[in-house]
Structure 1
Amino acid sequence: MKSHQNRVAVVTGAARGIGQAVCRQLADRGASVIAVDIAEPAETLDQLAESGHKALGLVADVSDPDRTREIGDEVRERYGRCDILVNNVGIYPFVDIGDLTYETWRKVLTVNLDSQFLMTKAVLPSMKDAGWGRIVNLTSNSIGLVVPGLSAYMASKMGAIGFTRALANDVAAHGITVNAVGPTLTRTPGVVSAVSPDLQEIVSQGQAIKKIGEADDVVGTILFLTSEDSHFVTGQTIMADGGLVRL
């Protein structure tokens, strides 16, 4: 299945978790992958190499305007264009609103939302030149749930939906689609360190599909939205969450 043959894909938050799984499966389907993370994405590159794929790893803070411009320039210089952008990076500190500082608020909004804008700006010119592009912004099904301590996170993820809807209008004439994907509570290294196994089980039992989400469970939706098959789907938010939240 080479549904992404000869496509060039940039994935943020690619060092582990959902981003790592996206990189792996895009490469398996023929894409040239650029794995971007604030940490060295060595494990992701090793996994791809084991499957016979070459990939580029970039260490970057994607909430930095100058660094994101550099990424766009480097991708275009090396590959000629960017076809696919998966804005996956995100942080989710659990902080009661009474203890939430402005600094933490701004950090969450900057990493989770500003990075989507900045990375889009960085790669959009090459997508427009090519007349083809796929942008997927990660949101969260938590926006439809009762979860204490996530004021900043939920604000950023609702912002991602608004950005997705508006951007889809602005770029459709250039053959570019923009969609959002909202995972459930997914068993990634970050979640494992922050959320108890009991809570993971409780969430999974509220889903129609009663299994704890894994990174690979989310990737199929992203693969569709970054393929040619999704050419008539844009501005949408799809919850890849086992049927827990329904829009």
Structure 2
Amino acid sequence: MRLENKVCIVTGSARGLGRAIALRCAQEGAKLTVCDILECEPVAREIEANDGEVLALETDITSENDVAVMAQKTIERFGRIDVLVNNAGAIGGIEIPDFIKPVEEMVAKDWDRYLEVNIKGTFNCCKAVMSYMKKQGQGSIVNIASTAGFNGSTHFLHYSTSKGGVMTMTRGLATALGEFNINVNAVAPGVVNTEAMQALHSGGGGDQTGRQLIKKAVQPEDIAAAVVFLASDEARMITGQTLAVNAGEYLH
């Protein structure tokens, strides 16, 4: 198993991508801390039902105190932190119904949530685990970005800008933490078949699979597979990179 006995924190793991990532990490032998601002006991029970070790926490990644508690409780329970998966983030559809709008209609408050969660929240989590990983002399951080961060999608420019920032943060942290044997990478999904994306499409987002070179819907499990690879020892010499998983929707 690729993550056997590794301790992994997966944020935003109550549903969608985070749930799929947490379940796949558990299948690969990891001990899990699953955390979300939403109720994540159901995914914890799924992991426990398959004899996995798991800690479930209610965590708001925009709160420095919450993420410090997340890291500390993980250490208290498992003794180390090997992997952080920064999946929690703000997107449209469920959380923000008016996600898609022309740039001239965007106002400051439209930007606040995306920057607060996707940029500051991601950094908060990275900062919370850094000292533990440094003491261990190793660690892996996988940030969830988005294909939108490559192309600057104009009708959700606030979101695409925030995810482009996650990619830049990934490169900067990789540079800062490499000497401590900590690798930092990102996965950039395209359109993924999740509840949030279905809600977005029903609100006018359109069907994006026609733009893909591979004419199949990308599933949460496809993203989870990429995350597991980057979190595993197989990727120990890969850092500062963004892996696009989008069925060829965009090429980079």
Q: For residues 141-180 of structure 1, what are the structure 2 equivalents within 5 Å?
A: 141-145=147-151, 147-180=153-186
Task: Report the Cα distance in structure 1 between the residues aligned to 2:204 and 2:159, rounded to whole angstroms.
Answer: 22
Does 2:51 match 1:52? yes
User: 2:199 maps to what in 1?
Assistant: 193
Tell me which amino acid in the other structure corresponds to 1:90.
G
CA shift for structure 1 position 56: 0.8
CA shift for structure 1 position 39: 0.5
User: 2:96 maps to what in 1?
Assistant: none
Q: Matched residues, percent identical?
A: 31
**3-state SS in 2 of match to 1:208:** coil
Does 2:226 match 1:227? no
Does structure 1 retain, via aligned residues, the 8 Å contact 2:152–2:160? no
Does 2:246 match 1:241? yes
**3-state SS in 1 of match to 2:56:** strand
Comparing 106-115 with 202-211, greater Cα deviation is found at 202-211
Cα distance, 1:62–1:198 mapped onto 2, change above 3 Å: closer
Task: Report the Cα distance in structure 2 between the residues aligned to 1:170 and 1:146, rounded to whole angstroms.
Answer: 26
CA-to-aligned-CA distance 1:138-157 (integer Å, 9 cap, x gap): 11112344744311101110
Task: Report the Cα distance in structure 2 between the residues aligned to 1:209 and 1:76, rounded to whole angstroms.
Answer: 42
Tell me which amino acid in the other structure corresponds to 1:215.
P
CA shift for structure 1 position 40: 1.0
Tell me which amino acid in the other structure corresponds to 1:241.
N
User: 1:62 maps to what in 2?
Assistant: 61
Q: TM-score, normalised by structure 1?
A: 0.94
User: 2:146 maps to what in 1?
Assistant: 140
Does structure 1 retain, via aligned residues, the 8 Å contact 2:150–2:164? no
**3-state SS in 1 of match to 2:51:** coil
CA shift for structure 1 position 119: 0.4
Tell me which amino acid in the other structure corresponds to 2:232.
S
CA shift for structure 1 position 14: 0.3
CA-to-aligned-CA distance 1:31-86 (integer Å, 9 cap, x gap): 00101100011221122123222311111111111111111211112211111000
CA-to-aligned-CA distance 1:110-149 (integer Å, 9 cap, x gap): 1111111100111111111111111011111123447443
Task: Report the Cα distance in structure 2 between the residues aligned to 1:222 and 1:109, rounded to whole angstroms.
Answer: 23
Q: TM-score, normalised by structure 2?
A: 0.92
Does structure 2 retain, via aligned residues, the 8 Å contact 1:136–1:181? yes
CA shift for structure 1 position 103: 2.4
Tell me which amino acid in the other structure corresponds to 1:28.
Q
User: 1:213 maps to what in 2?
Assistant: 218
How many residues align? The count is 245
Cα distance, 1:197–1:50 mapped onto 2, change above 3 Å: farther
Task: Report the Cα distance in structure 2 between the residues aligned to 1:81 and 1:52, rounded to whole angstroms.
Answer: 20
Does structure 2 retain, via aligned residues, the 8 Å contact 1:204–1:212? yes
**3-state SS in 2 of match to 1:196:** helix
Q: CA RMSD in A?
A: 1.7
Does structure 2 retain, via aligned residues, the 8 Å contact 1:92–1:150? no
Cα distance, 1:103–1:84 mapped onto 2, change above 3 Å: same
**3-state SS in 1 of match to 2:243:** strand
Does structure 2 retain, via aligned residues, the 8 Å contact 1:205–1:211? no
Tell me which amino acid in the other structure corresponds to 1:83.
D
Comparing 228-237 with 135-144, greater Cα deviation is found at 135-144
Tell me which amino acid in the other structure corresponds to 1:19.
G
**3-state SS in 2 of match to 1:149:** helix
Comparing 98-107 with 39-48, greater Cα deviation is found at 98-107
User: 1:39 maps to what in 2?
Assistant: 38
